[in-house]
């Protein structure tokens, strides 16, 4: 079959590439023995460029258009010159086509969680994923640094390396930003722009340009997300008593609509009695909507006082007892008192709540030496 491939190759004078894969970045045009016929037509379509490699070096660069390979700086490989060498032309050349369009919807994501310190939750583990797009920016750099002599190079051959670059820079930017975990969703666009700007120079070293990088999701471990869901649910539920009664009513409705024998009827009756008791408690107080609202608040505790009588501490006495002692004369204005509201022992007349009691009392009786008694 090799001889027929050679003969067939003599009649092929059109060099072109039609990509049907959608992910091929570089394609080497296959010719028998890498021989290019003199006067062959090279067709380079839009979103393509082609490079002719002669003797292992890039000899010429072709942008979109049609070219006739017969100029003096091209390897001339005519059939007549090839035959004396047994169908092996001494002039070898290769044509590499480069797909210059954007390759979009390439995926990136964390293989392992990224450890970060959050102000609210402390140490957390985050996973992230998204998509990005690239295109070939410099074909010569790309073939030297990446593809080499690979005759068919696709996005799958380089996405692992590009993904590692993205993840490394993303972890650094996320740690430096100190954005709270609960605020990350509001900063996806900013993170995307920062990561794109940070890794763009490194992509250029490969002859590639990153056109767009998107952060689609940053997530917490499943257990942490479940805890947050419970916390959110409690905030939505609000009044737990009302929610419990609502759940009981829903269970009664479900049992009534789907009876399944005596067991179901017993459960339904039990739920009915429980609900009836709940409703009875709610309606027991006229004008009230629930038992919590009808229950009076606890009785406030009375203030107690300690009294210094005859150099000794007495008490504690409540206000009523203290009032009786003042009226009976057992406590006068200078008697020292102490309660929790006072810093130190204080004369009774200086205690604000007792001052009114002393104001209503008559002054002490005059002594025998008073002028009135002498008259």
Same domain, 141 and 157: yes
Same domain, 181 and 210: yes
Chain segment 234-288, per-residue pLDDT in tens: 665 555 666 677 777 777 777 777 765 544 555 555 555 555 565 555 555 554 4
Query: CA-CA distances (angstroms) from residue 173 to 126, 190, 191, 217, 225?
Result: 13, 11, 8, 15, 23
Same domain, 87 and 142: no
Q: Which two three-digit tokens encode residue 274?
A: 């429980």
Among 64, 99, 134, identify where a domain stops.
99
Residue 56 lies in a domain: yes
Residue 238 lies in a domain: no
Residue 257 lies in a domain: no
Contact 203, 142 (CB under 8 A): no
Q: Which two three-digit tokens encode residue 296?
A: 């009076």
Residue 271 lies in a domain: no
Residues 258, 269: Cα–Cα separation, whole Å: 14
Residue 76 lies in a domain: yes
Same domain, 119 and 213: yes
Q: Please, is 30 exposed, middle or buried when counting C-beta atoms within 10 Å of its C-beta (0-12, 13-18, 19+)?
A: exposed
* Torsion, Cα of 327, 328, 331, 337 (10° steps): -60
Residue 248 lies in a domain: no
Among 42, 67, 99, identify where a domain stops.
99
Chain segment 20-40, per-residue pLDDT in tens: 888 999 999 887 666 777 678
Cis before 316? omega within 30 = yes
Q: Which of 120-124, 129-133, 176-180, 278-282 is predicted least confidently?
A: 278-282
Within 8 A by CB and 6+ apart from 123, the residues are: 115, 116, 117
What integer best gives the mean pLDDT of the chain? 76
Residues 261, 295: Cα–Cα separation, whole Å: 41
Number of domains in the chain: 3
Same domain, 64 and 111: no
What value does the mean pLDDT take over residues 58-77? Answer: 71
Between 365 and 141, the more confident residue is 141
Same domain, 209 and 309: no
Closest CA to 220 of 169, 192, 190, 180: 180
Same domain, 62 and 114: no
List the beta bridge partners of residue 61. Answer: 51
Between 203 and 82, the more confident residue is 203
Q: Which of 118-122, 157-161, 242-246, 352-356 is predicted least confidently?
A: 242-246
Same domain, 85 and 112: no
Q: Which two three-digit tokens encode residue 244?
A: 């419990």
Residue 332 lies in a domain: yes
Rounded to 5 degrees, what are φ and ψ at 240? Answer: -65, -35
Tell me which residue range forms the domain holding 131. 103-221
Among 57, 77, 99, identify where a domain stops.
99
Q: What is the pTM for the complete model shown?
A: 0.55
pLDDT band at 41, cuts 50/70/90?
confident
What value does the mean pLDDT take over residues 181-195? Answer: 88
Contact 191, 215 (CB under 8 A): yes
Residues 283, 343: Cα–Cα separation, whole Å: 49
Same domain, 80 and 172: no
DSSP letter string over 20-49? -SS-EEEEEEP-GGG---TTEEEEE-TTEE
Q: Which of 29-33, 76-80, 193-197 is predicted least confidently?
A: 76-80
pLDDT over 90 for what percent of the chain? 23
CATH number, domain containing residue 178: 3.30.479.30
Pairing verdict, β 40-44 and 65-69: antiparallel
């Amino acid at each position: 079959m090799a001889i027929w491939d050679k003969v067939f190759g003599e009649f092929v004078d059109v060099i072109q590439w039609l990509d049907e894969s959608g992910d091929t970045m570089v394609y080497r045009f296959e010719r028998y023995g890498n021989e290019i016929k003199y006067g062959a037509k090279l067709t380079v379509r839009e979103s393509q460029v082609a490079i002719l490699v002669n003797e292992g070096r890039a000899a010429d660069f072709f942008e979109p258009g049609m070219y006739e390979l017969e100029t003096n700086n091209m390897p001339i490989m005519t059939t007549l010159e090839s035959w004396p060498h047994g169908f092996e032309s001494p002039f070898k050349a290769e044509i590499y086509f480069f797909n210059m369009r954007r390759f979009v919807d390439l995926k990136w994501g964390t293989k392992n969680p990224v450890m970060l310190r959050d102000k609210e939750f402390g140490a957390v583990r985050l996973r992230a994923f998204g998509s990005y797009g690239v295109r070939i920016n410099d074909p010569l750099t790309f073939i030297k640094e990446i593809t080499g002599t690979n005759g068919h190079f696709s996005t799958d051959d380089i996405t692992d390396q590009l993904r590692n670059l993205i993840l490394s820079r993303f972890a650094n930017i996320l740690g430096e930003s100190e954005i709270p975990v609960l605020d990350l969703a509001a900063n996806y666009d900013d993170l995307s722009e920062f990561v794109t700007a940070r890794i763009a120079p490194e992509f250029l070293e490969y002859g590639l340009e990153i056109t767009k990088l998107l952060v689609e999701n940053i997530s917490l471990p499943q257990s942490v997300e479940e805890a947050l869901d419970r916390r959110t649910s409690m905030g939505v539920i609000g009044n737990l008593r009302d929610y419990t009664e609502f759940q009981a009513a829903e269970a009664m409705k479900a049992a009534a609509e789907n009876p399944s024998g005596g067991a179901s009827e017993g459960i339904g009756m039990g739920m009915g009695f429980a609900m009836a008791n709940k409703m009875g408690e709610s309606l027991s107080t006229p004008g009230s909507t629930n038992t919590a609202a009808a229950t009076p608040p606890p009785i406030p505790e009375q203030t107690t006082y300690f009294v210094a009588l005859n150099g000794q501490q007495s008490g504690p006495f409540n206000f009523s007892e203290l009032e009786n002692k003042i009226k009976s004369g057992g406590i006068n204005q200078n008697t020292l008192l102490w309660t929790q509201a006072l810093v130190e022992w204080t004369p009774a007349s200086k205690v604000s709540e007792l001052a009114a009691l002393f104001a209503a009392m008559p002054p002490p009786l005059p002594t025998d030496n008073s002028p009135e008694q002498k008259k």
